[in-house]
Every structure is written in structure tokens, then in C-alpha cells.
Structure 1
Amino acid sequence: MSRAPNGSSGPSGLEHPAFSSSFRSGSPLAEQVLAQDIAACSDDDFDPADDLLDPDQPHHFMYRRPSGVAYGAARPAFNPSGLEEPILTPLERKQSRDAERSLLRDNHVLPPKHANKSQSLPARMYRKMFSTKVPVEESGDETDEDEPLLSRDPDRDYGTQARRQRSAVEGEEDVDEQWEEAITSGRIRTTWQREVKTVLSYCGPLIVTFFLQYSINVAGIFAVGRIGTIELGAISLANMSQAISCLAPFQGLATSLDTLCAQAYGSGHKHLVGLQCQRMACFLLTLSVPVIILWLFGAEPILQRMVPNPESARLAGLYLRVMIFAIPGVILFECGKRFTQAQGLFQATTYVLLFAAPFNVFLTWLLVWKLEYGFVGAPMAVAITENILPVLLFCYVRFVNGRECWGGFSKRALTNWWVMIKLALPGMIMVEAEWLAFEILTLLASRFGSDYLAAQSVVSTIASISYQIPFPMSIAASTRVANLIGAGLVDAARVTGKVTFVIHCILGLLNFTLYSSLRFHLPLLFTDDETVISIVASILPVVAVMQVFDCTSAGAHGLLRGIGKQSIGGPVNLISYYAISLPISLSLAFGLGWKLQGLWAGVSVGLFLVTTIEYTYLLKTDWNTAAREAAARNAAG
């Protein structure tokens, strides 16, 4: 929750009223980094955000932008840090007011926008089923002729220009007062209809963004699958190696920017957002040197020792050598995303991907099939696209929005690394561990031969594609729960929790149905090899069961993050995967000879345990305590 600004010491010991609470109440390591950077700034560098200057800004908001970073590899992971947000922009503050008004109308504290007119029977039935309004008997209101709100003529000025003008003049102070009174008296309730509508509206843009970025790697798998079975397995092996040795550690380290950039923006020294991104980019580019050496000289020999099929290892090594050219683009885009998102410009990434993702599909077709480069055309297309992404993002910042946080290149980007590294390491370890738990399945599948490796490529890709819906939905749910908890609406947050559980159950059952009924058809999207199709069809029923728990566990992750208990999810996941799931997978796959079915059965058991443990924790947890902790953070901030 963004919090009201309070005074804090400036770089020269002066009081800057625009220092945000997020700057002072965040990670101590982040504060240390920013304090050192601010000490090197002059007062002329201070440029507070416009919305920090509003002395009447409320202490909480009913709108917080749904924050999520689209990952380009198989399985996205939650940011292990909390929901750290920069100060809301004026547009977002307006959205917060609108959300408050909607809840006040739903609870009959404010009159409706439009007069209630006579409706047909179907319209009344539809309204009764899907209306977001709290029933009068549940809202806590009692008809009282002395109460001005309820004695008002229901047809007076609704939707008229006079009403809108009066709202513009009285609205802000009126809403603040009535909101605080309604919160204090416990009159605010919500309905499942309202929460479904809100969660779905939050998650829509996230789903689009996640699908677009994930499509950059998936396009190559679709194209290469038609070349041959060995090539299909090799690209899966290469993606596994790329994820473990580059994407996971780099994206994990970059999660520290979610805190550093947000707090730099809130500090009033906006140019420090650019400095933090420069510093992380320089650090990651330095780390890329050993990765490049590994991919250039060591990847193929290592894979040949680990994979029975030497041709699969050779092609995977070739893929990685080409992907060396993508590393700078990956690093700059990861840092660039945080640069724009710290300013609230979440649409920038989506706009860039709306161009880049279709271009990547065309480029993949052009290089793999039209120009007949074959297998090597797939990594060439990805490498070109990955380098185009930061260029497009730069153009957005330069010509559209976001330039105010760029103070130019600075030698200070080469200093103050150690504290940043200490802040970034936990994120790297968590993301690496989560990705490794799933990517290791590809390495184990290679022990069964090229056909099984190709089948694993198909199955893991299908599972990852379907995960791009429940994961963004869980981010939307965590945002909504955090909003309600921060506003002290614990009962409403519980309603959101129930809605989240039901939505993710429905998604899981939908995936279960699709996987089971289309198990002979889905493989045809990737390959026409009969052996691979048969293997995939035999595995998909097991993966269908896994989907139920995969979706529901994603919902649990989101709820834990929303109530500020994200520290529970990481250990539960890692213990379930490494201590329980992986041993079961190995025993079933190699001990009982179940092969891929055994590998995925173990994953299903692990996700079942994660789901059970996390939802049990959510049921046993006192959400009122979470609300008090959020209130304490707001008061401290």
C-alpha cells in the first residue's frame, strides 16, 4: 500500500516533506544503498513527484496497480520481496477514489449513479445474480427518515450534469469523510460478484503481457518440432541450460530493483531510479562474462557427459552459442522493465511486446523455414528479438514517457555494488531454486532417450503455457487482498480469498478437462512424430491431475503474498519439491520404470502438498493480525 508522505532528512540535513514512507519503511539494505546515493546528490537533484505534494493524500488507497514481471522462460516465480509500490500517480489516485466510491455505493452509503427504473423480469434476475451491491439486510443500514442519505429523493439529479458538477466540488472531501466513517463503523462489505469483477479486471493486462513474452521462446519450439524429434528435444535441453545458468540468476538478482527503484522514486531524487538500473545492468553484464565463456566452451562437453544422445547435446550447445548474442538484450530489458514500472508505466512493457512478439513469430518462420536455416534459425530469431526489446523500451522512454527518471550515464553506477548484491542474493537464490525444481525434469527425461526428451519438451511447454493464466490471476488476487487488508477491510479480504480459491479451482478443472480430452490432439501442435505423440498422450492424464494443484497452489501463493506472508510460500515450495516431490519422481521414474509418467506423478504429489499446506495456513492465520501489521507499516511510514 502506498502511504502518506512524512518528513525525512534530506541530503544536507534539511527536512524534505516529500520523502515517501516507502523509502523509510522498506528494506534496511535498500535504505543503506539509497542513503549513500542521496548523500552524493545536491539539493538541485531533488524533484519530488507531484502526487507527493498533496497534503490531504489519504493514508491508504483502494487501488494499487497489479505488479508482476513477465518472465521469458518456462515457469515464472513470485518476487520473494513484499508488495513494494512507488507513490501512486494522479491517474492511479483517481482510480483509488473511484474504487472507494464503488464500494460506498455497493454498501448504500452513497446513492447509485443512476435511478432505479422498472426492469423486465430477465433484467431483474440478471441484476439479482450478478449485481455487485451488498443486500440491504447485510449492509448494516437501517431505514431512518432522519438520515439525509436515505431520505434523499432516489430520482433526484442521478446522472445529470448538475449532479456531476456537485460531485466534482464536494466529491473528494465527501468521499474521504464517508469512507472513514464507513470503515470505522464497519459498514463496508463486499460481494463475490464485486471481487470476481475486480480480480478479472486486474489480471487481464497481466495475462496478455505474460503470454506475449513467453511466446518469444515458445515460437522456436513450435517451429523446431517440425524439423525432427532430436531437434525438439535439443531445444528443450538448451532452454533448460539457459534458464538455470542465465535467466534464473539474472532475473532473480534483478528483483532487488523492485525495491530499490520504487524507493528511489519515492525519495524525490527521481534520477536515482536510472542510477539503480544502470548499476544493476553493469553488475549483470559483468556476471555475463563467465556465462558466455561457459556457453562458448563448456556447455556442449558438459551436456555430452549428462545426456545419452550426443546429437542432442551438440545441438543444445549450438543453440546456447547463438544465444550468447541475446544476453545483453535480456539484461537491459530486465533492468528497463523495472525502470518503467517504478514510475507506474506498466503499459510500456506491454506495448513493446505487442510489437516484438508477433515480429518474433514472423522472424522465426523466416529464418527456420523460408531461408532454410533450420534448427539454428530458432535461436537466431530469439537473439534478434531479445536485443530489439530494450531498443523499443528505450524509444518509449525517450519519445513517450518516463524520461524524467533518467539522469544520464554516471560513473557512480560502478560503485556501491556490495550492498546491492546483498539485497539481491535472496531473490536470486529463491528464483533459481524454484526454476531448478522444474527444469531438472528435462535433464532426467533425457536419460530415457531422444523420443522421451522430445515428449518432455512438448509436455513442459503445454504446462507452462497454461500456467500463464493462473499465475497472473494470483498476482491480481494478491494485489486486491493487499488493498483490502491495508484499508482494514478484513472480511472483504476474506471474500476475495474465497473468490480466488474458486477461480483457481475452476481454472484447474478446466485444464484437467482440456488435457484429458485433447491428449491426442495437443501434441500435434508441436510434432507429427507418432512415437512422441503416443508418449505425450500417455503422460497428459497425469499432468492433467497436476494442473488442478498447480492452479490452486498459484492462488495460495497470491493470497499469502497479499496478507504479507510471502515468506511462508518459498520454504514450503522448496521443501515440497526437493525433499518430497523429487525423491518420489526419481523412485517412480527409475525405480518402478514409469519414466515420464513417474516424473510428473512426483511433481503432482509435491504440488498437492504445497496446496494443502498453504491453504491450511491461510485458514488458520488470523487475517486481523495481518491488517494490524499493515496498519502499523502505514503508521510507521
Structure 2
Amino acid sequence: MASGSGTRPIPAKGPAAADFLGAVGASFRSSSPLAQAVLARDLAECSDDDVENGPSDLAAVDSDSDDDVPGPTLYRRPSGIAFGTTRPAFSLGPAGLDEPPILNRLEQARSRDAERSLLRDNHILPPKHYASPYGQPKGMIASLYKRVFSTKVPRKPVDEETPTGPDETTSLLGEENRGQNGASESPDHHHEHLNEHWQAAVAAGQIKTTWQREAKTIAGYSKSLILTFLLQYSLNVTSIFAVGRLGTLELGAVSLATMTANITCYAPVQGLATSLDTLCSQAYGSGHKTLVGLQMQRMIYFLLTLVAPVAVIWLNAEPILASMIHPDSAHLAAIYLRTILLGAPAYMVFEAGKRFVQAQGLFHVTLYVLLIAAPFNILMNWLFVWHFGWGFRGAPLAVALTQNLMPLLLFLYVWLVEGSDAWGGFRRAAFRNWGPMIRLALPGMVMVVAEWLAFEVLTLASGRLGTATLAAQSILMTVSAITFQIPFPLSIAGSTRVANLIGAKLVDAAKTSAKVIIVAGLLVGLFNFALLSTFRYQIPRLFTPDAEVIELVARVLPIVAVMQLFDAMAAMSHGLLRGIGRQEFGGYANLAIYYVVALPISFGLGFGLDWQLQGFWVGVTIGLLLVSLVEYLFIWLTDWNLVVKEAENRNSAG
């Protein structure tokens, strides 16, 4: 996962673009021939006025701090920020190993810090803090604290140790770097030999890690991701909370409408937009930053062409839904869909804009937008549904307003704060060269839509059992989706960490990190299990006062609680598969088990044995159990050394 070093000239239009692509091979990895073809064509069409005169912030490595050697190999920020609004179990998005390792200067510095820290923990570089003249704290508590929380790799016995280069007693940079008092200065001020030490240590197999370090790293990655996911999902949950207090019919209708919107609009849009994870990253990594804006414009115009077919479906949803569920539920769901149509174009713009800032390493922007949009959405739901007395119609109007606010906030941040360098203005070229982009986007859309469809089928099936059952199903789906917002971001963080270690050729460290991820998934699953089991009667009361619905939910929640264990473990296995570059296996395993095993069992138990909702969720639970077993078996049988070689070949191939 090496990124290039030094600065490279940016080509003008013409055949030089083809030569430039070869030179850029050291700066970023092509994860798709289609993406490379798109970039070549766009570069060939660029005018001289579009050429960047200065070095790219991402392509260039700080020449003051490092030699002209391959740059950072260990640090990648977790992406997949705010992916989806429901329960995606797998993605072909940026968390996989196939994403180009585009790093900005700050991330390059963090990569050096991460490498330096690992070298210290393995006793190859001097410690960051030299020994205090007053000695180290001693005692049982201090010893226990060090044993539990220290990230340092335990030293081998003296007779087993082999020379490892500089240690605490060896000068790292020679006598010329000693301070006035004769003591060695902190190596933090000296970067020029870091890559040399790092590469030598990796080649000698001296870099190890500890579960403490991996737990600390993954926790650091996860905390902002979990908050972001919870905030984005709150946009839907708020409507369900607000409407659920109106009645059982309204509660079932809002869930049905949300699922229909997911399968007919939101899922396809998110799936198609995943192509920008590759296209925008590679455009920015090429050094021609304004191509990022071009790719975003292309995707926005393409997505906006989908507004017409979505409008046709949503405006005529009532007769379609009425043929499958109770007419009253279909009527309310149709009202919801017709209203949120006002926010559909803005949603499409935001999904493309989100990738625009992520390609520049500005992952925090989405979180900032949601920190404003989520409270705004809660306020609008309260005003429209309750304060103004608009009832059911107020909830979708609040969602539509929030969806229109989000791209506006994103635009204001880019315009006023950071990110505008990659815009480049409106271009006619955005209306050309759509073919490769669409071919790159379709696989992502198919995978995302296929999973959404499985849960949509269960929601529609529950609607045939009555209004109360549909309302109970909406609560169960919402609760399981909320709990999923913890393991899924954790799996993204885990996949990023494993991909980093694989790219750095640290097989043993990657396996240690994988074990930590699995244990973390188990702990999260147990937490969710305990939460749902303990509050099985209190949770449904948050959504509805209806006694029949509360009893239905309380009866099924123990099954959903058991499912949390397998759900969390499956999320971790998906993350590990993405980390080792085997996400395709996870995607197809999910599809096969969902449609060949889980759904048939759910229908057989729900309708055949008349277990109803309990049967539906037993089938899903069995499916997730099988997914976990199959994927962990595949991971266990995978040759991780071969995975490292494949990653190295992709890096070398550019």
C-alpha cells in the first residue's frame, strides 16, 4: 500500500496522458481497468488551463521529513462513512483492500507516526520517553496496569534475542544528533532514516503487534464511525418514533414506506455512488485534483436521470402495495412516498458530494453535517407531527427538508472551509464518458439492492398477517437496525486495520488484529443480546402504546436478541474479508444464504407452521449463523501469505 513520493509534473492534454498514467503507478494503485480508462480519457481532454502548477498535496511526500523513498504503508483512514440508512451486511465500497491508498499530508505524517510507534514497541527504536531519573513506578497495581495496557511486545530472553538494529542504548542517528548535554535528542525530530529502519525490520520479520495495540487502534478508528452511523440512521428512526405514537396503522405504514424507498431509490443510489470511491480517489491521487469535481458532476447528472422513474414508482405506489398488504397501510405508505419525493434529488446530490469530500481525505465533513442535520430532523418532526398537528404527513415532510439541508451544508463547508480546490467549476465533459462509470457502478448497486430486497420481502410478508403484525415488524426492524450501527462501523475499522497490515506485509500482525476484531464482535453481540433480552417489554413502549403490538414485539425480541450474536459476528467476518481482499466471496455467500436458506426457512416457519413473526426471525437468525460459519471457515483456510503477495503485486502493477 505504498504511495508515491516526491512531486510529479501534471500533463497537458494529448497523448502524454498515457505516459503519465505509467508514471502515476507508483503513486496510487488502480483497482479497476475501467477506472484507469476513465482517468486516461479525462486527462487527455484536460486543457492547459486545468493543469496544476504546484505539487499535489496527496501525491507529494514532505521532502523535508523523508528521503525520496516509497512513502507511507501503514495508515489509512477508515472510510464507508455513513454508508446506508439501514442494515447493510456487506459492501463493495472503499473499506476493501482494492481502494487506492490515497493519503494527504496529515495522513502521511500519521503513517510515519504509526510505523515509528511499532518500531518502538518492538524495541527497534529508542523509546519516546526516556527513563526518569526518579525511576519507574513500582508495585502490584503499576505492574498489573503495564501488563494489561502496555502496547510493547514482550522482550525475548537474552539468549534468544538476535541483533535488531538500534535499541534504547544505541544512538539512532549518530553523534551529530546529540544535544548540548550529550544526550540523544528525541528521534521524533529525525525522519530521514525511518523508512530504512521500517523496511529492514519488515524484511527481517521483526515487526510484531499486541492485542492491546490493536484494540486501541480499532477503538480509535471506530468511535467517530459509530457516532456517524447512529446519526445518519436517526434520520429514519425519528420518523418512526414520531409517527408510532399516532397509532398502529401509522407505525406499520411508515416502516413499509421507508423500506420501499430504500429498495427503489436509496439502495440503488448508494450502490451506484460507490463507483466514486474508486474514480474520485484515483482522480485526486493523479495530482489533477479538479478531476474529482468532474467525476462528481458526472455522477450527479446520471443519478438525477433516475428521479423520473423513481417518481413514477412512488406516485403510483398505492395500487402496487395494496395488492400485497392491507389497503389502509398501502394508502398511508403512498402518502409518505409522495412527500419524501421532494427530497430524493437532494439525497442523490448528497451521496455524490459525500464521496467528493472523502476522496480528499475530509472524512469528518459528513459527521459535521450530520451533527447539524440530525437535531434539525428531530425538531422538524416534533413541529410538523405534533406542534402544528399535521400528523402522519408531517413526518415525511421533515425527512424531505432534512435531505435538502444536507447537501446545502456540505456545499457551504466546501465553499467556506476546505475542499474547494478539487471542484474546478462546471464542465461540459461531465455529460460525456458515462459508459465506464456506469459499468463500474452497476456491480455495487446489484449487491446493495439484493440485500435490501431480502428485508423488504420480510416486511411485505408481515403486512399480510395484519396491521398489528406489520407494526411489530417495523419495531423489530428498527431495533435490529439501531443495534447494527455498532458492529458494522466496527467491522469497517477492522477491515481498514487488517488491510493496512496486509499492505505493510505484516502477516502475523494482521492475524493478531483479526483476532481482536473477532473478540470485539463477540463482545458487541453479547452487549446487544443482553440489552434486548433485558428490556424486551420496555423497548416496544418507546414506539407505541398499543398493548397488542407490545406483546408481539416482546414475544419475538428474545429471538432477535440471539440473532444479535450472529449478526455482529457476521459483520466482523465481512470486515475481515474486505481487509484481505476477498469481499466478493462474502457478497455471494450472503446472497446465496439469504435467498436459498434464510428466506425459505422464514416463510416455511412463518406461514407453513404458523409461527408468524417468530418464524420469520428464526429464519434470519439461522441464515446469519450460516453466513458466519461459512465466512470464518473461508478466512481460516485462506493463505494470508498469498494475500500479502497479491496485495504487493497490485501495488507494483499500479
User: When the two structures are superposed, what TM-score results if normalisation uses the length of structure 1?
Assistant: 0.95
2: distance between equivalents of 1:458 and 1:353? 24
Q: Aligned partners of 1:160 and 1:621: how far apart in 2?
A: 54
Q: In structure 2, what residue type is equivalent to 1:394?
A: F
**Distance of 1:140 and 1:468 partners within structure 2:** 49
One-letter code of the match for 2:59?
L
Letter of the 1:97 counterpart: R
1:528 CA drift (Å): 1.1
AA aligned opposite 2:24: F
Secondary structure of 1:39's match? helix
Q: Which amino acid aligns with 1:42?
A: S
1:25 Cα deviation after fit: 2.4
Aligned to 1:510: 527
Shift of 1:167: 2.7
**Which whole-Å CA distance do the structure 1 matches of 2:184 and 2:108 have between them?**
19
Conservation of the 8 A alpha-carbon contact between 1:20 and 1:52: no
Higher-helix-fraction structure: 1
Output aligned runs, 1:273-284, within 5 Å: 273-284=292-303
Corresponding residue for residue 52 of structure 1? 59
Say whether residues 1:129 and 2:136 are aligned partners.
no
Task: Tell me which moved more, 511-520 or 382-391.
Answer: 511-520
- Cα deviation for residue 85 of structure 1 reads 3.4
Q: Which residue of 2 aligns with 1:79?
A: 91
Q: What is the aligned residue count?
A: 632
Query: Is the contact made by 1:229 and 1:529 (CA closer than 8 Å) also made in structure 2?
Result: yes
Q: Is the 8 A contact 1:66 1:202 kept in 2?
A: yes
**Residue pair 2:72, 2:111 contacting (<8 A) in 1 also:** no
Q: Tell me, in whole angstroms, the C-alpha distance in 2 between the residues paired with 1:138 and 1:442.
A: 61
| Equivalent-residue separation in structure 2 for 1:165 and 1:248 (angstroms) | 55
Of 564, 577, 588, the match for 1:547: 564
The aligned residue for residue 601 of structure 2 is 584
Structure 1 residues 285 and 143, CA gap change in structure 2 (3 angstroms): closer
Residue identity opposite 2:275 in structure 1? S
Cα distance change of structure 1 residues 459 and 161 upon mapping to structure 2, 3 Å threshold: farther
Over 3 Å counting, the alpha-carbon distance change for 1:163 and 1:535 in structure 2 is farther
After superposition, where does 1:281-296 map in structure 2 within 5 Å? 281-296=300-315
- In structure 2, what is the Cα distance between the partners aligned to 1:517 and 1:418? 53
Q: Which of 418, 430, 442 is the matching residue for 1:413?
A: 430
2:263 aligns to what? 244
1:172 match: secondary structure: coil
Is this contact kept in 1: 2:284–2:359, CA < 8 A?
A: yes
Listed one character per residue, the Cα deviations across residues 23-68 of structure 1 (whole Å, up to 9, x for unaligned) are 6622111112222211110244232513423372525521101011
The Cα offsets for residues 163-208 of structure 1, whole Å up to 9 and x where unpaired, read as 8965354x21222121112111111111111110111101111111
Partner of 2:211 in structure 1? 192
Classify 1:630/1:310 alpha carbon distance in 2 versus 1 (closer, same or farther; 3 Å). same
In the aligned structure 1, how far is the partner of 2:506 from the partner of 2:276? 30
SS of equivalent residue, structure 1 residue 52: coil
**Is residue 213 of structure 2 the alignment partner of residue 211 of structure 1?**
no
- Kindly tell me: are residues 153 and 393 of structure 1, through their superposed partners in 2, closer, same or farther at Cα, counting changes over 3 Å? closer
Q: 1:101 aligns with which of 116, 122, 139?
A: 116
Structure-1 separation of matches of 2:30 and 2:349 = 29
Which moved further from structure 2: 157-166 or 132-141? 157-166
Structure 1 residues 377-456: aligned runs within 5 Å: 377-456=394-473
Match of residue 327 from structure 1:
344
Residue 43 of structure 2 corresponds to which residue in structure 1? 38
1:4 match: 4
Rate the CA distance shift 1:143–1:246 in 2: closer, same or farther, 3 A. Answer: closer
**Aligned counterparts, 1:603-614, within 5 A:** 603-614=620-631
Bigger shift: residues 207-216 or 31-40: 31-40
Q: Which amino acid aligns with 1:376?
A: R
Q: Which letter maps to 1:53? A: A
* 1:183 corresponds to: 202
2:322 matches 1:304: yes
CA change 1:163–1:210 in 2 (3 A) is farther
Where do 5+ consecutive residues of structure 1 fail to align? none
Aligned to 1:27: 32
Aligned-pair CA distance for 1:9: 9.5
Relative to structure 1, is the Cα distance of residues 584 and 393 closer, same or farther in structure 2, using a 3 angstrom cutoff?
A: same
Give ranges in structure 2 of 5+ residues lacking alignment: 62-66
State yes or no: 1:354 paired with 2:356. Answer: no
Does the C-alpha gap of structure 1 residues 437 and 193 become closer, same or farther in structure 2, counting only changes over 3 Å? Answer: same
Q: CA deviation at 1:244?
A: 0.7
State the TM-score, normalized to the length of structure 2: 0.92
Helix, strand or coil: the match of 1:123? helix
Q: Is the 8 A contact 1:139 1:188 kept in 2?
A: no
Query: Compared with structure 1, are the counterparts of its residues 537 and 393 closer, same or farther at alpha carbon in structure 2 (3 Å cutoff)?
Result: same
CA 1:160–1:113: 2 relative to 1, 3 Å: farther
Task: Say yes or no: does 1:535 pair with 2:552.
Answer: yes
Which one is further off, 50-59 or 529-538?
50-59
